[in-house]
Amino acid sequence: MKKTWMLRDAIYDALHRWPSLMLFALAGCLIGWGVSFLWPPSYRATAQIYVALNPYRAYSDSQFLALSKPKYSNLDDYKNWQMAQLESAAYMDEVMQDTLATLQDKDPSWKSMDLDQLKEMLRANWRSAGTWSLVAENADPQRASQAVDAWSIVVKQRVEEAIHSAEEILLVEAEIQAAAENRAQDNALKDELLATRRNLEKWSASLDGLPPDQPLDPAERKSLLSILSSEIDINPRLASLLQELPDEGAPVAGYQAWVSDMMPALSEAIADLEQSLATLEAEQTDLSVRYASEMQKSLGLAPSLVVEGMDQLSPKPIRPVGLIILIGGVIGLLAWILWQIFRISNRFQNP
């Protein structure tokens, strides 16, 4: 019973010490106010962009098939991969360099800031496709607003260029495929013409020693027809010479004269094909260089990705001075309570 009365008296005594409570709270507020000078309030400026992706084109994108399919086997993985690629693009050094250059052009005060300091200010908040928030934090609300504005513009511009390059890759791939098919066809035709010329030379040599005015043996004519490839008529001059092939029963001299016209025509057609093959090879080389360039510019983004600018929100304080002062006052109040508990505890230990 005695301890109960002692506890009641101690509580009453503590409550009558409200001036000390006010002093503790006031001291906490003053300390919070002082902290606000050492740790000044920061402002957050936000620019929103809209990100969309058509993942159902994923399996038709050659780059997805060639590079991504072994790692990503479903549409959600593909979407998340593209979102991660987009975030990486936003933090690229060249994007940050362009952002800093844009800021320095608009306001000379940015010339004192380096790339690392700018990176510390900027952050991209996102969960998936949809609305992304590009955020800049700084003690100066104007600088935060300028930074996020420049960053969002550069990101949107750079990503649009990357998407355009991704679209160009598809076109270049089609041109590379067409050039490869044409080259394969020309190589096959060249091989046919070389074989025809070689066999025709052998067939013509077999006529040596035969009487020129003697009709050609039907078996020899049949052998000649088997030599002449059906691919020859692709060339207009060769097709014309085929129409001039001597009739059955014509003399040997007539066939020899025809072969004399056909041989240079075959050589000319082969030379034309070699020139065409050289042109196609050079075209493939140029396309490969262009492909590599566009691939680097595409940043691994899909041509089905869409990025559009939205609203920019006004800068908001994230550590206002009033909040720091209030926290200081609350800490002062808690300190006063702990002090009173300590006093009461000592009273019970030393009655």
Task: Return all residues near 91 (Cβ < 8 A) that are at least 6 apart.
Answer: 119, 122, 124
Confidence (pLDDT) at 336: 56
Predicted TM-score of the model (pTM) = 0.66
Of 53-67, 113-127, 289-303, 304-318, the one with minimum mean pLDDT is: 53-67
Return the structure tokens found at 26: 């006031």
Confidence (pLDDT) at 278: 94
What are the phi and psi torsion angles at 48 (to 5°)?
Answer: -100, 140
Q: What is the mean pLDDT of the chain?
A: 78
Task: Return all residues near 118 (Cβ < 8 A) that are at least 6 apart.
Answer: 96, 99, 100, 103, 147
Task: Return all residues near 239 (Cβ < 8 A) that are at least 6 apart.
Answer: 232, 233
pLDDT digits (tens, 9 = 90+) for 305-345: 888 877 777 777 665 555 555 665 566 667 656 766 666 56
Return the structure tokens found at 111: 């010339």
Residues comprising the chain, all counted: 351
Count of alpha carbons within 13 angstroms of residue 250, beta-carbon side: 12
Q: Residue 279 pLDDT > 60, yes or no?
A: yes
Return the structure tokens found at 183: 């080259």
Spatial strand order in the sheet of 305-317 = 122-125, 130-138, 43-53, 305-317
Q: What single-letter amino acid sits at 90?
A: A
pLDDT digits (tens, 9 = 90+) for 187-232: 999 999 999 899 999 998 888 888 888 888 888 888 888 888 766 7
Count of beta carbons in the 10 Å neighbourhood of residue 49: 21
Q: Residue 282 pLDDT > 90, yes or no?
A: yes
% of the chain exceeding 70 in pLDDT = 70
3-class secondary structure per residue, the chain: CHHHHHHHHHHHHHHCCHHHHHHHHHHHHHHHHHHHHHCCCCEEEEEEEEEEECHHHHHHCHHHHHHHCCCCCCHHHHHHHHHHHHHHHHCCHHHHHHHHHHHHHHCHHHHHCCHHHHHHHEEEECCCCEEEEEEEEECCHHHHHHHHHHHHHHHHHHHHHHHHHHHHHHHHHHHHHHHHHHHHHHHHHHHHHHHHHHHHHHHHHCCCCCCCCCECCHHHHHHHHHHCCHHHHHCHHHHHHHHCCCCCCCEHHHHHHHHHHHHHHHHHHHHHHHHHHHHHHHHHHHHHHHHHHHHHHHCCCCCCEEEEEEEEEEEEECCCHHHHHHHHHHHHHHHHHHHHHHHHHHHHHCC
Residue 195 CA to chain centroid, in angstroms? 48
Closest CA to 87 of 51, 124, 58: 124
Q: What single-letter amino acid sits at 350?
A: N
* CA gap 269, 245 in Å, rounded: 18
pLDDT digits (tens, 9 = 90+) for 24-55: 555 655 555 555 555 556 788 888 888 887 66
